[in-house]
Amino acid sequence: MEYFNVFITGGILCVIGQVLMDTTKLTAPRILVIFVVSGAILTGLGWYQPIVDFGKSGATVPLPGFGYALAKGAIEAARTGGIMGALTGGIVATAAGVAAAICFGYLIAIIFSPKSIR
C-alpha cells in the first residue's frame, strides 16, 4: 500500500511537469526552478508536509522535495538557532545531497567523454 502511495505521488508530480512542458513554452531549467521554489513555498505555508506524510519518497525525491528539505531545514534551524539558523538551515539540511552531486558529478564529467544522443 505504501509503495502504491509513493508511486502515485511521484507519478502525479512528474505529470504536472510534463503537462507544463507540453502546454507552455517553459524549458526544462525553468521547470526545475519553478518546482524547487514552489516546493519551498508550499513547505513554508505548511501544505507540503501532508503530501510528504502521504507519499513518502514519492514526495521527497521529485524536485519539490528538494525545496521541501531546504525550507524545512531553514524553519527548524530558525526555531533553534535564531537568525543565523535561518541563514544556514537550508544549506545544512541539503548539504549531503548537493555536495555529493557536485563532487561525484565533477568526477564523472572528467572521466567520461561526450556522447551523441542515440
Partner 1 sequence: MENKKEKQKKEIKKRQAKEYENYVKQFTPKPKYFMNSLKAFFVGGLICIIAFYVQTLLMNRGYSEKDSGTFVIVFLVCSAQLLTGLGVYDTIGKFAGAGSIVPITGFANSMVAPAIEYKKEGIVLGVGAKLFSLAGPVLVCGISASVVIGFIYYMMNL
Scan residues 17-36 and list those touching partner 1 (CB under 8 A).
Answer: 17-23, 28-29, 31-33, 35-36
> Is 97 among the residues that bind partner 1 (CB under 8 A)?
yes
Count other Cβ atoms within 10 Å, centred on residue 51: 21
Cα(68)–Cα(84) distance, integer angstroms: 19
Instruction: Name every residue whose Cβ is closer than 8 Å to that of residue 97 and which is 6 or more positions away in sequence.
Output: 66, 69
Q: How far is the CB of 67 from partner 1 (least distance, A)?
A: 6
Residue written as grid cell 526552478: 33
> Is 1 among the residues that bind partner 1 (CB under 8 A)?
no
Residues 48-87 that bind partner 1 (CB under 8 A): 55-58, 60-63, 65-67, 70-71, 73-75, 77-79, 82-83, 85-87
